[in-house]
Amino acid sequence: MVSVSAPGKLMIFGEHAVVYGHPCVVTAVGERVTVSVEKTDDGRVIIEAPKVKNTTFVEEAIRQAKTHWNIPDCGLRVTTDSTFSSQYGFGSSSAVTVAVLDALRRFFEKKENKKELFDLAYKTILAVQGVGSGFDAAAAVWGGTLLYKKGGVLLEALKISGQLPLIVGYTGVKADTATIVREVADKRGKFPEKMDRIFDAIGKLAADAKQKIEEGDWERAGTLMDFNQEYLRDIGVSSDKLEMLISAAKKAGAWGAKLSGAGGGDCMIALASRDKHDAIKKAMTDAGGQVLEVVNCAPGVQMDTTDDQSELFVVVDKNDTVLGYKTRGECHADKTLMHRGIGLLVFDRTGRVLLQKRSMTKDTRPGYWSTSVGGHVMKGETYEQAIAREAKEELGIDVPMKLYKKHIIRYPGETEMEALFTATHEGPFHSNTEEIDEVKFFSKEELSSAITTGTIHLTEAVLLNLQVVGFL
C-alpha cells in the first residue's frame, strides 16, 4: 500500500486577478488530505471516501492518471481521509486530486516530476469544474508559500523562515467558488476596462507583497492586504460577515486584513504581531467568526513517511555529551534542544563542490541549496554511521570520507552539533527524488556569481560549511 498526503491552501494576495494571468501569493496549510492506494483481487476500482460528499475529483483523477501513465486496468482500492472540513474553502478538492494522482504515480512506480504532477492535477480540476487558476493545486504540489501565475507559468517559492503571522477566521458561510468566478467574469464582460485596471493593480500588489514578506516587513505587507481588500470590495466579492470580521481584526490591532479565496463567505485572514494574536482572535470571535488554528507554509504532497516527525534524534550539550533523545518534531520546534547533525561536502577532481537542491516537501528550508549530503544522527548511530547511511540514501554513493570538523550551527528555529565530512567523487549520483530536486557541481566562481545575482539561495549550514573549508 502507498499512502500520501497533500495540504490545503489559503490565498494571501491576488485572488480573482490570478484568473486573468496576474500573480498571486498562496500558502499551503497544515490541514491535509490523505490518500492510500492498494491492489484488490476482484478487478474493480473501489473508492472509499467517507468525508468527501462528491467523489468526482477522485474519479476524474484516477481516469487522468490511468491515461497519462498508461496504467493497465486492475483492481484498486483508493481510500481518502482528511483533517479538515471541506466547508472552510481550504481547497480540499485540489488537495484530494493531487494526493490521488501522486499516490497512483508512486504505486505504479512512475517517475517523479512535480510540474508534470501539477499539470495533470490542473487538467483534472478544469475537467471537473471548468474554471480556476490552479493556484490551489500548486500549493498542494509544492507546499510552502508561492508566488504563482495561472497554469503554473510562474512558480516561485518565497524565502521565509518559519510561519507567516496569520490569523484565520471562518465566516460560517460556504462560498461557491465556481459561481463567484463566473459572476466576476460576467462583470468583466460588462466593464472590461475598469475590471482589468483593478486586476492589474491587484497583480502588482501581490508581487510587491512577495518582496515585503521575504524582507519580513509585515507592517507594509499588512497595508498591502488592506489595499487588496479595497479592490476586492470594488469588484463586489466581499460580504457583510467578511467585513465584520475584517473590521474587528483591524480594530484589535492587525497590520492588515482581507478575505481569502473567492469571497462571498469562507475565510478571512489577518496579519498581526504575535503579541496581538489573542486580542484579535477574541475580537473576531465576538464579531461572530470562528477562529481556525492552522499552520501555514506547510510541506507539499509527500509520502506519509517522509521526514517522519517521530524519529528520535540525539540531544547533546555544547561538549557533544549525550543528554537524551527527542523526536524530530520536538528538536525542530525548540532551539535549546541541540541535536547531532551531519554534513558531507563532495568535491570533484577539479575542486568543484557538489550541492543539492532540497525538495519542496522537506519540513525545513524547502527549495534551498545545501551541503552535498546532510541529515541527522538517529538514536543508536555514530556520526560515521549516519553520514554513510545518508550518502547512500541521498546520492546512492559509498565513498571514503574524512571528518573535517565538528561545530555548532544555529538556525532561527533549531540548533545542531554538526560533524562535517569531506570526500572526492565524480558521480554518477542517483539522487533520492523524495528529498532532492537536483544535484550539481559548482566552481567557486559559478557559486559566488549565483549567490550575488540571487539565482540560488543557500542554507545557513552550507554557507558556514563552505566558509569553514575555505571555498567561499
| 62 contacts ligand MEV (rule: CB under 6 A) | no
Between CA 273 and CA 227 the distance in angstroms is 19
> Is 437 in contact with 358 (CB distance < 8 Å)?
yes
| 256 contacts ligand MEV (rule: CB under 6 A) | no
Is residue 456 classed as helix, strand or coil in its secondary structure? Answer: coil
Choices 16-24, 211-219, 330-338, 396-404 (CB under 6 A): range interacting with ligand MEV: 16-24
Which of 6, 11, 104, 158 binds ligand MEV (CB under 6 A)? It is 11
Between CA 386 and CA 404 the distance in angstroms is 15
Between CA 373 and CA 337 the distance in angstroms is 22
Cβ 116 to ligand MEV, closest distance in Å? 20
The residue type found at 320 is: D
Q: Within 19-58, which residues bind ligand MEV (CB under 6 A)?
A: 19
Choices 128-136, 282-290, 317-325, 408-416 (CB under 6 A): range interacting with ligand MEV: 128-136
Indicate which residue of 136, 266, 307, 437 is catalytic. Answer: 136
Which of 23, 203, 261, 289 binds ligand MEV (CB under 6 A)? It is 261
119 has catalytic annotation: no
> Is 90 in contact with 9 (CB distance < 8 Å)?
yes
Cβ 260 to ligand MEV, closest distance in Å? 8
Residue whose C-alpha is closest to residue 300's, from 148, 126, 166, 463: 148
Q: Which is nearer to ligand MEV, 132 or 366 (CB)?
A: 132
The residue type found at 153 is: V
Q: Within 68-127, which residues bind ligand MEV (CB under 6 A)?
A: none
The residue type found at 16 is: H
* Strand 353-358 to 339-347 pairing: antiparallel
Between CA 367 and CA 361 the distance in angstroms is 9
- CA torsion, points 288, 87, 19, 103, in degrees to nearest 10? 140
| 133 contacts ligand MEV (rule: CB under 6 A) | yes
Which of 4, 100, 121, 181 binds ligand MEV (CB under 6 A)? It is 181
How many residues touch ligand MEV under the rule CB under 6 A: the total is 12
Cβ 17 to ligand MEV, closest distance in Å? 7
Between CA 52 and CA 77 the distance in angstroms is 15
The residue type found at 386 is: A
Cβ 26 to ligand MEV, closest distance in Å? 9
Choices 129-137, 206-214, 350-358, 406-414 (CB under 6 A): range interacting with ligand MEV: 129-137
Choices 15-23, 112-120, 196-204, 418-426 (CB under 6 A): range interacting with ligand MEV: 15-23
| 177 contacts ligand MEV (rule: CB under 6 A) | yes
Helix, strand, coil % over all residues of the chain, rounded to 5: 40, 30, 35
Residues recognised as catalytic: 136
Task: Kindly list the residues in this chain that would bind ligand MEV in the complex (CB under 6 A).
Answer: 11, 15-16, 18-19, 132-133, 135, 177, 181, 261-262
